[in-house]
Structure 1
Amino acid sequence: MTVPGITVFGQQSHPDWTAGTPIAEDVTGFPTDYVALDLETTGFYPNRCAITEIGAVRVRGGRVVDQFQQLINPLCPIPRQITALTGITDAMVADHDPIDGVLPQFISWLADSNAAAETEPIVGHNVSFDLRFLDYNTRHIAGCGFACADYDTMQISRALFPKQSHHRLADLIVRFGIADNEEHRALSDAIQTQQCFEWMRHYVSEHHESSTIRWKQAPAKNSTEILHQQLVVQR
């Protein structure tokens, strides 16, 4: 697959770029090299809430080869309901850097994964949520949007299993026999997302002909520099 008019990981798209950037993928169109990502935050809205943890794993050929994990000081009290969900307390983040110190480190780590000729996209569960926070903070810190191609395990699950009522990460890890519980910590959730993605990639290769599936691209609602790669299943 080629992603037109877009670079990755916080780098601005070049106005003359028309050839696009290739993504390493298998015969079903699933990427084989990617970064699985998860964030923990103090709430739902990037302009009013803050990131408290970034977790990510780098995947090459379907296998995890590196990881990134960092707690972040949100410079505000963490709501009690968020601490109850994630276990992250004010004391745990008090001595850590705020996002303007951590985000450049994370961008640098992501750039290391882009040393190959192919683009390595972002994989996440309900990944639009995470990318909205990254894009908002990248614009304020680096002066440009967070640009990437992404794959959403929630969207892929809905496309593959439309008769299922629930597609949360907690539902998928149980349904696929990966784990019994979601920990709601960034690195562990990123790893479980990667495992769900690989489970569905293998499921498609075993149960679908390549002619029955396709991928469509859709720009994010709030940023044309983020392109969602969405699975379409023909039945």
Structure 2
Amino acid sequence: MKRLIALLFLLAGCGIKANPGVLKDPEVEIRRIGKKVYVRSLFGEVQIKGFERQGDYWVKEEERPFCFVVERIGEGSKKFCVGGALEEKPSLKISEGEAFVEVYPSNFEAYRLYNLRDSSLSLENAKTFRESISLERDYWERCYAITGIRGNVESQPVEFCVKPKQPPTVSEVDGLEIREGKQALYLVWFYEQDYREFVIYRDGKEIGRTTGFAFETELPKEKTTFTVKVVSPLGFESKGRSVDYSP
């Protein structure tokens, strides 16, 4: 019986032990756009020597072909190589209308449109197209960049801006009048449209803002002009309506 128990312990101790986990190589997305190379990790955190971290991407400016090593933190590393930058870039023909701008690029079979933010490409939500693209004009200036696509390489971006369309007219306040108190002056008015706030000026200088239909200020000692401007929900100001006060 003792021999049987000893044999069972011996067999239990001879089980196959698991091998250590295999280090995982980094998996990345690589994009050559003009002179810059953008690398984004698809899984886990990585480090790339010689690159600069910009948001989700590692970026390096180098127009010649080169190789680099991506290290997945706590895991393995892998070498990648990219070709050189394209020398050719798109030519743009832009036709401006009141509501839309039509852009007609040439020199490539396919193109990619990027929004520009602080003079940098916004790589998210880029639009790929072939012959032309239509851009809706906004009340604010919008800037873009277009690259030409050849294989899996994009050309140097060509930047341009779309001028804003004419802002909407903001209607003025109604019934603006002055009501004088013993120690203060009151401006009152009414307004029936949607608005963000009202801005009050005294002889052309801003003295306050309010979301109500009245504003209190100190009694002037000399003739004064008060102006009330409306700020629309989009942030545009009306020309203003004025009223004079004489002590």
| TM-score (normalizing by structure 2) | 0.20
| TM-score (normalizing by structure 1) | 0.21
Give the number of the structure whose residues are more often helix, by fraction. Answer: 1
Question: Which protein has the larger Cα radius of gyration, Structure 1 or Structure 2?
Answer: 2
Give the number of the structure whose residues are more often strand, by fraction. Answer: 2
